Amino acid sequence: MSLIKNRSPFVALSTVLGVFMLIFLLLPIFNTVSTSANRLGEAVVDVDTGSAILTSFYAAFLATLITFIFGTPLAYILARYDFKGKTLIDAAIDLPILIPHNAAGISLLMLLGPKSLLGSAFSGIGLSFVDTLFGVVAAMTFVSSPFMIRSAEEAFKSVNPGLEKVARSLGASSFGAFANVTFPLAFRGILTGCLLTWARSVSEFGAVIVLAFYPKTAAVHLYEVFINWGLNAATPITALLIITAVGIFALVKLISAKPLKPVYSRQES
């Protein structure tokens, strides 16, 4: 234990406590995956599980797309401008992360349910949110968009506004400067945010089940299997979901890691 040797008691104690924390975080995940690894095939070939995972992936993709379209401009404004009430808006963005997710689902149901004003207006144009894919997407967007907005905001902040000024001086409009300079430079952070929002959407359960039990997402399907068939039936699906999540997480880390900077462009001189 070279980490503990030759260090102050405080550092040694911190290390030991930290290791306990890590074990608690990783052991359940590791345990589930390792004990059900030989039964993973059951989950992979199961049609219900497969379609539930596809539903999750697709709905999460739509939620991410919506967040990207509406969240990117918001993130840019928050990163670049100071205005009255900005701290309030800043705090509001984190709200969906803080409130219990089934409470979020109930709030959405009150707003978008068939008996509500907005809900009946939407159903007038054939858009219903209860037990539909739209409901799943709405629930996912509500709880997961903060990840993308925050990530994009940080990415925009890291782009020096001086670069935009130069672009403007060279003839670019404010949108031109954004499109040619700021967005490409912030792209990695935005993409990371999108992946986080997507992954968080896939794992969302509380808000989704309140608003839309059907079409069943992976998390809802897992819950149903667990309630009806017990722990033994649920573990292979659990393992599959965990492996998928870890895969996504690895991808996020890979993208957000700084690449080696090229010296020359590939373009011919």
Partner 1 sequence: MSVCIQRLSKSWGDFAIRNIDLEVENGEYFVLLGPTGAGKTLLLETIAGFHKPDTGEIWINGKNVTSLPPEKRSIGLVPQQYMIFPHMTVKQNVEFGLKIRKVPKTEREKAVNEVLELVGLTHRRNRFPSTLSGGEQQKTALARALVIKPKILLLDEPLSALDVNTQKRLREELKAIHEELGITTIHVTHNHFEAHMLADKVAIMKNGAIVQKGLPEEVFRRPKNDFVAEFVGFENLFEGKILATRGGLATIDLGGVTVEAVTSKKGKCMVGVRPDDIILSNSLFQSSMRNVLKGRVTGLIDMGAIVNVVVKVKNVSFTALITKRSLADMGLAEGKEVYLAFKASAVHVL
Of 14 and 173, the one with the shorter C-beta distance to partner 1 is 173
Tell me how far, at minimum, the Cβ of 183 lies from partner 1, in Å: 10
Within 10 angstroms of residue 128's Cβ, the number of other Cβ atoms is: 16
Q: In Å, how far are 53, 162, 236, 255 from 76, measured between CA atoms?
A: 33, 15, 42, 21
Of 10 and 83, the one with the shorter C-beta distance to partner 1 is 83
Distance CA 107, CA 211 (A): 9
Tell me how far, at minimum, the Cβ of 267 lies from partner 1, in Å: 6
What is the residue-wise DSSP string for 48-117? HHHHHHHHHHHHHHHHHHHHHHHHHHHHHHHHH---TTHHHHHHHHHHHHHS-HHHHHHHHHHHHSTTSH
Give the closest residue to 218 by CA, choosing from 96, 226, 128: 226
Q: In Å, how far are 80, 162, 172, 173, 265 from 167, measured between CA atoms?
A: 16, 9, 6, 8, 21
Tell me how far, at minimum, the Cβ of 72 lies from partner 1, in Å: 18
Task: Phi first, then psi: give them for residue 204, nearest 5 degrees.
Answer: -70, 135
Of 5 and 261, the one with the shorter C-beta distance to partner 1 is 261
Tell me how far, at minimum, the Cβ of 79 lies from partner 1, in Å: 17
Distance CA 83, CA 133 (A): 37
Tell me how far, at minimum, the Cβ of 167 lies from partner 1, in Å: 7
H-helix or E-strand spanning residue 27: helix 9-35
Tell me how far, at minimum, the Cβ of 57 lies from partner 1, in Å: 31
Of 257 and 263, the one with the shorter C-beta distance to partner 1 is 263
Of 157 and 168, the one with the shorter C-beta distance to partner 1 is 168
Of 10 and 81, the one with the shorter C-beta distance to partner 1 is 81
Binding site for partner 1 (CB under 8 A): 160, 162-163, 165-174, 176, 180-181, 184-185, 261-265, 267, 269
